[in-house]
Amino acid sequence: MTWAGMVYLLMTIGMFAVFAAIVIWTFSGKRKERLEAPRERMLEPDERSAEKSADKEEK
């Protein structure tokens, strides 16, 4: 294997290790609540839509 091939291989392995570390850090147990908060917020009723519904019911 040439010198350039070895550098390319080591860079590839290094980038994969960084990617794997980011994935593990993101999905670790400590961050689960923070990661899932936007999903739960999306399912909650919006205050503006509740006001619009109340206005329609009054008419």
Host domain of residue 36: 3-58
| pLDDT tens digits, 29-51 | 777 777 778 777 777 777 766 56
- Phi, psi for 52 (deg, rounded to 5): -65, -40
Query: What pLDDT, in 10s, does the model give residues 1-27?
Result: 899 999 999 999 999 999 999 999 888
Residue 13 near residue 22 (C-beta atoms within 8 A):
no
Dist. CA 40–CA 49, nearest whole Å? 17
CA angle 39, 45, 46 (to 5 degrees): 100
The count of structural domains within the chain is 1
